[in-house]
Structure formats: C-alpha cells, structure tokens
Chain A
C-alpha cells in the first residue's frame, strides 16, 4: 500500500508539474526579478542616476513637493506624493487633471519626478514601465484582462502547491541525498540538481507558493467573504482594508497646512516609522484632508497604516491600522512574506537567491520529463529516427519557455537602451520587443526542437545579458567603470550590470558545454548515429 501511495504521488508530481511548468517558469523568473523591481526601474531610467546620491528628510521632501504642486497642479481634486526612500531617490508626484480626459473619458492623471531637495522637475526620464512590467507580468500576465491573468496564475499556483507536496512524498531519500549532486551522469544528474535546489530552499518554495495563493485569495476562494457579506464585496473590502472617507470640498479657499509638523507627528506616533506617501484631497480648499501612509515596516506583517489630518488646520482626524484583528494580521504576514517589502538588502538578496533556485527547480523539472521520456523510448526513437509528437512538443516548449524567455528578458533591457528616448508609446514598445523576441524564439523552437536549437538560443540569451553592461557603457554615463571602479554611481546600477554579466557568462558556458557534448556524440566511435540528433540536454556518451 505504501509503495502504491508513493507511486501515485509520483504520477501526480509528474503531471501537475509538467502541465504548468512553462507558465510557472515565467512566474518564478519575473517574480524573482521583482524583488529588485525598484532597482531594475532605476537601471532603466539612466536620467535619474545622477540624482541618486544625497538623502533628503521626508519632511523636507514633502514641503518641496507641495511647493511644486501649488504651482503646477492648481485646481486638481487630488494630489499624490510618493516620498523618496532608501530604494527610490526621487519624489514622484501625481495629480488628477480634470481639464484633460484620458482614453476612457476619465480625468487624466499627470505625474512628475522631482528633486526632493529643491522640488524642481528632474530631467524627464525616458518612458518605461521598468520593473513594474515584470512585477505585473508575474501575477497578471499581459495582453489580457487582469482578472483572466490572475485566474491563470492562481490555477497554475495551485498545481505548483500540489507538485511541491507530492514531490516531498515522492522523494524517498530526502535526508540521505540532502547534499548530493553527481554531475555528468545524465538523467541522474538532472534528478540530483532538481532535488538539491528543491530541498535546500524547500521552506522558501512552500512559503512563496502558498502565500502567492493567499495574495490571490479573493479570486480563488471568495466563498467565505460572499456568504458572510451576502455578496456585498464592497462592504467586506471597506471593513478589511479601511480607507479614509473623502470629504466634499467647501468651495472656500484656504492655504494648506505645513507638512513638516504632520510628518513629525506621524513619525512619533509610529515609533520612528517613516512616511511613505501623502495623499491630499481637495488641496487649497477649507475642507482639504491630508492622508499620511506609512512606509512598510521592518516587521514581516504588511498591514497598511495611515493617519488623517485636516488639510487647513493640521488637526489629527483619525488613524487606520494601529490595532488590527488576528485575521487581518494573518493575511498581513502572508502578504508581507510574499512581497518581502520588510526585507533589508541582505535579506532581499537571500530571497532572490532562493527565487533563483526556484527557477532552476522548475526548469530542471521540465527537462527531466523529456530526458526520462527519451530514455524510455530510446529504442523506438533509434529505429524510427523520430521522437513521438508529445515528446517533441514538450522539448520545443522547454526551449521556448526557458531559453526563449531569457532572450525575451534580454531584449526588453536592450530595447530600453536602444529605442529613441522621445518616441510615442515608448513604454509599450519596450514591452512589445519582449513579446516579439519571445514569439520568434518560440516559433523557431517548436519548428526545430533540437539540441542545436538549445545551443543557439542559450548563446543568444547569453550574449544579450553578457553584453548588457557594454551597451550600458555605450549609452549612459553610469557604466561599471564609474559605478564600481570609482564607486560614484548608484549601487543598484552596478549590481544590475554585474548580475547581468554573470548570468550571461553562465548561459554562454552552458551553451559551450552543450556544443562539446554534441561533438562528442557525433565522433564517438563504434556507435552508429541515426539521422536525428539527441535533442535533450541529457548526456549520451
């Protein structure tokens, strides 16, 4: 019975993993990149690199932002101020412009990036979605409605959770093989690699998959909420995530209260916590209100805290999120663990490493199926000279989803540097180059799912990443020579360049190894080669 149970779990592990592995690889890669979302965005906006230097206090940045908005955003019903923080050097302001309508007929939202010290507009950075695109991609996909994307991701995450748990049950020698990796042994090596990255970062894999589902819980499991609130979702969200009430304007103009005392009061109330954002309703009106929102705390739990002030007198009107219920706190912990906003740079790096191990786990899992399948049908393949349709499809999809996706990422960053700065719809064009490059790679992979294709696409992605620091040197003034050798530029930019170089070299190394093996297979004496080449990365000598 025990053997039967384990075998059925092995079956479950294989199929739940295989069916969703290509989507999951995308989720893992873009999700892992999202840990450095702000840093990626900074790299993609070289115009802002110079401003990344002297830190400015929140109070000062708030005052200068108000100064800017009072000049440029008169008559706006709402102002949004995003104060600088350790990961974001500039102040960003947004405001609703009722005089201008966007495509949906709603009032347009204008924005500007400011120097926090002076409140002057920074040289307009190039249009890009930066790391935000990768962040959205990892749970909403692209070119489809957000709800559809979230449903697909939720579905695949559920499979992922099943695959992890059945994988633990299936793994017979979880402790005996804890540190084991045996290279150059074909299927065995892939298995070892898959096990090692899965087991060593197991707490992370379980956590990230489960908490990922929790972030999507209102889509996947709305039933409790629906029955308790009798379908009134708005009432639920208002209670679970309270928002300050918006007051009607009095149509009497009044100067806005100074920000510095409010910021000081909030920082005292939050025991030294920092203000992250300031929203102002009806600015310049006697009924203005100011909402200060706390920067994510250092604790794991992510519960939004905010304070409301009267916009003309500066009197405290209320606070939100000071005391939260167990349920809110539980969700806060789950959500906080997933997005890791509480993490300092070191811990963030550990999350990133674990995320990379997750990527390797999914990729090796996908490859393992093809390796095993090819071995199981080795005789038949040798006779007919052709693998079955299913195997060829999986091998094609593997190349497309793994090597092809890396090409897509590389192209996105290249497009960021090469597209002219002023052109219309630039941000969308960057995203389009991501998908165009991916589609080309995918079509080629499905047409010729051969070992040579792996080699080609790995080389291409390797070159894209390895040459990225050089492209950066040619197109900006913050290349590695400045950021690293003279240590003047922002560290985030140097880190991006170095990681990209390392990743590119690793990919080129993998491609080179593949070429050697291919040669070895071809010239190995005494072994008659059939017309086909072995497609998988599996060692045949």
Chain B
C-alpha cells in the first residue's frame, strides 16, 4: 500500500467528520464560541459536504486495497479520523475548522501526488 493514498483517505475522513459535526447545533455553537444559530440551508450543506468527503475517502481506500480489505481499511480510517476531532472539539474547538480546511487542501495535494506517482 501507498502512504500517500492512505494519508489522502485519512485527511478526507477527518475533514468529512468535521463538516458533519458543523451540521450539529452543539458543535456549531462550540466551534463559533458564541450562541450562533445554524440555518437549515447551511446544515444541509455541511451534511452534504461531510457525506461527500466520507464517500471520497471510501473510494480512495477501496482503490488502494480492493473492496474487501479496502472496506476494513476504510473503517479503521474513519475511527482514526474521528478520534482527533473529538479531542479537538473538546479542547480546541475554535481550531477544528481551520485544521479541517488545511486537511482538505492536504488531501488534494496528497491525492494529486499519489495520482502522479501511482
């Protein structure tokens, strides 16, 4: 397996989970550090973006290891991607979004590098 591809999948999983958490009232308020309401349109957008990122992560993992082992790898990636988010939402909620944006960029760069080298 390829370290670049694996990192791409992991970055997508983290970004996807962050988007999904942004679609939830409690975490939205935590992240913005004030009583901010989440509009229904934004909620839908966050959810869609999060789901898309998680699906993309699955595709990356499946193309790395095939459908069988790829699924196993994907589930592990989901767990490993969600764990740091839970810690960030607790101890540094303000930075979660920034990091997620960074990982989206990283996922693109890594994905490109992986595609070019692979």
Binding site for B on A (CB under 8 A): 176, 178-183, 196, 200-201, 203-204, 298-301, 333, 337, 342-344, 346-347, 350-351, 353-354, 357
Contacts and interface: CB of A to CB of B under 8 A. Distances in A.
A179 B76 contact: no
Given A342-B69, A346-B6, A347-B72, A179 B89 contact: yes
Given A179-B21, A181-B90, 19 more contacts: A176-B26, A178-B21, A178-B24, A179-B27, A179-B86, A179-B89, A180-B26, A196-B86, A200-B83, A204-B76, A204-B79, A299-B66, A347-B1, A347-B65, A347-B73, A347-B76, A350-B79, A351-B76, A354-B76
Q: Of residues B6, B27, B65, B72, which shows the largest number of chain A Cβ atoms within 10 Å of its Cβ?
A: B72
A181 B26 contact: no
Contacts of A343: 72
Contact of B3 (A182, A346, A354): A346
Nearest to A301: B68
16 contacts: A176-B24, A180-B89, A181-B89, A201-B79, A204-B79, A298-B69, A299-B69, A300-B68, A300-B72, A343-B72, A350-B73, A350-B80, A351-B76, A353-B80, A354-B76, A357-B83
A179 to B, nearest CB: 5
A337 B82 contact: no
Contact of B82 (A179, A204, A342): A179
A357 B79 contact: yes
B68 to A, nearest CB: 5
A181 B87 CA distance: 8
B103 interface: no
B1 A353 contact: no
B85 interface: yes
Contacts of A357: 79, 83
The 4 closest A-B pairs by CB, nearest first: A350-B76, A203-B75, A201-B79, A181-B90
B1 A344 contact: yes
Interface in B73-114: 73, 75-80, 82-83, 85-87, 89-90
B17 interface: yes
Contacts of B3: 346
Contacts of B68: 299-301, 333
Contacts of B90: 181-183
Contacts of B75: 203-204
B15 to A, nearest CB: 14
Contacts of A342: 69
Contact of A353 (B21, B66, B76, B87): B76
Interface residues of B, number: 27
B112 to A, nearest CB: 20
A353 B86 contact: no
Contact of B77 (A176, A344, A350): A350
Contacts of B87: 181
Contacts of A347: 1, 65, 69, 72-73, 76
Nearest to B3: A346
Contacts of B69: 298-300, 342, 347
Nearest to A199: B82
Contacts of A196: 86
Interface string B41-59: 0000000000000000000
Contacts of A183: 90
Contacts of A298: 65, 69
Given A176-B24, A299-B69, A346-B1, A353 B79 contact: yes
Nearest to B5: A346
B80 to A, nearest CB: 6
B34 to A, nearest CB: 19
Contacts of B24: 176, 178-179
A404 to B, nearest CB: 27
Given A179-B27, A183-B90, A347-B1, A337 B72 contact: yes
Contacts of A346: 1, 3, 6
Contact of A179 (B1, B17, B65, B78): B17
Nearest to B88: A179
B83 to A, nearest CB: 6
A422 B82 CA distance: 48
Contacts of A337: 72
Contacts of A344: 1
B83 A353 contact: yes
A200 B76 contact: no
Contacts of B17: 179
A347 B3 CA distance: 11
B69 to A, nearest CB: 5
A176 to B, nearest CB: 7
Nearest to B90: A181
Q: Of residues A179, A181, A196, which shows the largest number of chain B Cβ atoms within 10 Å of its Cβ?
A: A179
A196 B89 CA distance: 13
Interface in B1-37: 1, 3, 6, 17, 21, 24, 26-27
A297 B76 CA distance: 20
Contacts of A201: 79
Given A342-B69, A344-B1, A346-B1, A181 B86 contact: yes
Contacts of B21: 178-179
Nearest to A354: B79
Nearest to B69: A300
A337 B89 CA distance: 32
Contacts of A204: 75-76, 79
Contacts of A353: 76, 79-80, 83
Contacts of A333: 68
A354 B75 CA distance: 10
Contacts of A354: 76, 79
A353 B75 CA distance: 12
A300 to B, nearest CB: 5
